[in-house]
Amino acid sequence: MRTAVPLQAPAADEGWAAPAWVPTRALGRTVLLTGLLLVLGVALGRVDLVLLAAPFAIGAAIGLRRMPRSAPELTVDAAEEHIVEGGSVGAGLTVANPDVISYDLVVVRTRTSPWLELRDADRPFAITVATDGWTAVELPGQATRWGRHDVGPAAARVAACGGLLACRPVVTPARQVRVYPETEPFAATEAMPAAAGLVGNHRSRRPGEGGELAGVRPFAPGDRLRRIDWRVSLRTRDLHVASTLSDRDAEVLLLLDVLGEAGASGGVKGRASVLDTTVRAAAAIAEHYLQRGDRVSLMEYGSSARRLRAATGRRQYLTVLEWLLDVRADTGDQGPHEHVFGAHHVSSDALVMVLTPLVDPRSADMLAGLSQSGRFTVAVDTLPAGVTPPNRSPWTPIATKLWRMERENVLGRLREHGVPVVTWAGAGSLDLVLRDVSRLASAPRGR
């Protein structure tokens, strides 16, 4: 009768299975030369030839007196803490030796993301590891762009027994380093177009309990005593109260157009691509509004249509940063469908900030659609200045010029539709526009 479970392989094979320690060419050479010199010495009756073979035999005997049994352990260490692009990253490779013999030579190397400038990461390192010990190789460096960057996969090759035995390469999968976008300073001082909640920092256009003075009016039943304006009351000899505007919070929807990427990213100190500007601006705007107590939600305008629901507070800010790390350009031809993204997804009170390069005609259509459905929409132009397509023929410059003119035309038509378009320029770049939008919001709505 056969057993249901297949029999285990003989125990003798265990040492030669993974990890496979294999003889090197040096061991083959040692055996060949020793044998040949001994045979020649015996055949020719020459003791000096035997003595020439002696170091090879002694070297092999000393080297192979103890054999390696287990595989080296290679680990990739990467910094776990909060790293902002341009900040320093600490990565490292650690080779551990669980064996009874020491490793005479360990050649360890790793691949890294091009956005992590780690010192000497493009070179292999040659180290030794003592018996039952470990050796670490430090790779300090700098993260030059936001995103999830790989440190690894790393590989180690070990030689033991004086280079007579070598281990097959041990490969370790990559570790990810999360590099958060640098938030460009942004401060919008203007009122929100529509405050939705009952609490918050924005002064609303409705009277209520708040900090912003709206005017002074005669006392009416129900008014709080602490609201009485004593100066005015004394002057007019009638009780007056100071009326204030209520403070409200608001929802801000950041809509990220990921239909295309343009411009080559030069990292944190170099030129910014469309996605660089999009992500950094989104992080800055989200940070600003979340600090003020507003609810911020994010959405991608692309085939994946990822979205992050609205929430407030520092926790949401960290979630936003984490969400932004996965922003990728949508390279597929399949566009966002109407049922995936539509104006009905956007709260009617939300301030919609669309970060778009306005390269794809679908983006302009989406903006026009949002504006027509009565959403407070602001378009932030993320196309880097001076970006041009690769020069493929003598007609490329003329075609680029025509395309730019057409784009200006689209921008003009969007403005006619009531969608302000501003180029992202950090602090205060949205102030004027937000003022216009809130003025529009105070006007009667509907078409």
CB of 137 to other proteins, least distance (A): 9
Residue linked to tokens 């297949």? 6
Nearer to other proteins, 124 or 207 (CB): 124
CB of 58 to other proteins, least distance (A): 5
Interaction of residue 126 with other proteins, rule CB under 8 A: yes
In sequence order, the β-bridge partners of residue 241 are 217, 228
Q: How far apart are CA 437 and CA 442, in angstroms?
A: 9
Interaction of residue 62 with other proteins, rule CB under 8 A: yes
CB of 113 to other proteins, least distance (A): 20
Which one of 4, 9, 12, 385 is in contact with other proteins (CB under 8 A)? Answer: 12
Nearer to other proteins, 123 or 447 (CB): 123
Nearer to other proteins, 130 or 405 (CB): 130
Interaction of residue 354 with other proteins, rule CB under 8 A: no
Which one of 18, 80, 88, 120 is in contact with other proteins (CB under 8 A)? Answer: 120
Using CB under 8 A, which residues numbered 143 to 182 contact other proteins? 157, 159, 162-164, 166
Which one of 128, 176, 201, 348 is in contact with other proteins (CB under 8 A)? Answer: 128
| Exposure string for 66-95, b = 16+ CB within 10 A, e = fewer | eebeebbebebbbbeeebebebebbbbbbb
What region, left, alpha or beta, does residue 268 occupy, with left being phi > 0 and alpha being psi -120 to 50 degrees?
alpha
| Alpha-carbon dihedral sign for residues 200, 203, 204, 207 | positive
CB 159 within 8 A of CB 103: yes
Interaction of residue 221 with other proteins, rule CB under 8 A: no
Using CB under 8 A, which residues numbered 35 to 54 contact other proteins? 35-42, 44-54
Interaction of residue 369 with other proteins, rule CB under 8 A: no
CB of 177 to other proteins, least distance (A): 22
- The phi and psi torsions of 117 (rounded to 5 degrees) equal -90, 85
Q: How many CB atoms lie within 10 A of CB 239?
A: 15
Nearer to other proteins, 151 or 383 (CB): 151
Binning the chain into helix, strand and coil, the percentages to the nearest 5 are: 30, 30, 40
- The phi and psi torsions of 294 (rounded to 5 degrees) equal -85, 165
Nearer to other proteins, 37 or 364 (CB): 37
Nearer to other proteins, 171 or 234 (CB): 171
AA letter at 375 = R
Q: How far apart are CA 98 and CA 131, in angstroms?
A: 7
Task: Find the DSSP H helices in 45-138.
Answer: 47-63
CB of 326 to other proteins, least distance (A): 35
Interaction of residue 96 with other proteins, rule CB under 8 A: no
**Of 81-89, 101-109, 177-185, 407-415, which part binds other proteins (CB under 8 A)?**
101-109
Question: What is the crossing angle of helices 314-324 and 274-291, to 10°?
Answer: 170
Task: For residue 283, give the H/E element and its range.
Answer: helix 274-291
Interaction of residue 55 with other proteins, rule CB under 8 A: yes
Q: How far apart are CA 292 and CA 202, in angstroms?
A: 8
Which one of 124, 153, 208, 426 is in contact with other proteins (CB under 8 A)? Answer: 124
Interaction of residue 2 with other proteins, rule CB under 8 A: no
CB of 112 to other proteins, least distance (A): 15
Q: How far apart are CA 260 and CA 405, in angstroms?
A: 19
Q: How far apart are CA 315 and CA 233, in angstroms?
A: 46
**Of 19-27, 296-304, 328-336, 340-348, which part binds other proteins (CB under 8 A)?**
19-27
CA neighbours closer than 13 Å in the CB half-sphere of residue 383: 19
Nearer to other proteins, 43 or 385 (CB): 43
Token pair listed for 41: 């010495």
Interaction of residue 22 with other proteins, rule CB under 8 A: no
Which one of 18, 25, 206, 413 is in contact with other proteins (CB under 8 A)? Answer: 25
CB of 144 to other proteins, least distance (A): 22
Number of residues that bind other proteins (CB under 8 A): 62
In sequence order, the β-bridge partners of residue 296 are 252, 311
**Residues engaged in binding other proteins (CB under 8 A):** 12, 14-16, 21, 23-26, 29-42, 44-64, 67, 69, 104-105, 107, 120, 123-128, 157, 159, 162-164, 166
